[in-house]
Amino acid sequence: MSGADVAQETRRWLRFAEQDLAAAAALTSAPGIALREVCYLAQQVAEKAVNAIFVVEQVEFPRSHDLALLVRELPARWAIPLASGQLDSLIAWNVEARYPGAWPEPTDTETRSATGPARRSGRYVSTLIWHICGQRRRRCQH
């Protein structure tokens, strides 16, 4: 991919993450919406933000919803400052929010604890990508 293509695809992944975050925020107070949907979107925000790093690095990434796996596969210089417990809570919602099972519906507290790490990871990844792209114009031209 050319530098312009990499930048466009990276922006696309980040835009999708930002849109998921906006949808999660809107759904939080929407009547009749299950909070599990908000938790699912929170997981998707973090996953798409991490995948944007793979795009900017032009590295094939695993097609997985396992955030811990995705973060482990990142090039070393891309540290994601999320405690493993936060990652674990987001990972759980990818399955638990989407399919019926023996797990309970999320509480307001669990929903807030899922959206916080998602918001922070999306913002952090976006800032990192554009900082590094500013230093490496050949790969990330706007």
For residue range 106-128, list pLDDT tens digits in order.
777 777 776 766 666 666 666 65
Q: How many CA atoms lie within 13 A of 64 on its CB side?
A: 14
pTM above 0.85, yes or no: no
User: Which residues, 6 or more positions from 12, have their beta carbon under 8 angstroms from its beta carbon?
Assistant: none
User: Which residues, 6 or more positions from 32, have their beta carbon under 8 angstroms from its beta carbon?
Assistant: none
Distance CA 103, CA 85 (A): 18
Residue 10, H or E segment = helix 3-28
- pLDDT tens series, the chain, 142 aa: 788 899 899 889 988 988 988 898 888 888 888 888 888 888 888 888 889 989 988 989 888 888 888 888 888 777 665 545 566 667 777 776 677 777 777 777 777 776 766 666 666 666 655 554 544 433 444 3
Domains and CATH numbers, the chain: 3-135 (1.20.120.330)
Report which of 26, 22, 20, 27 is spatially closest to residue 50, judged by C-alpha positions.
Answer: 20
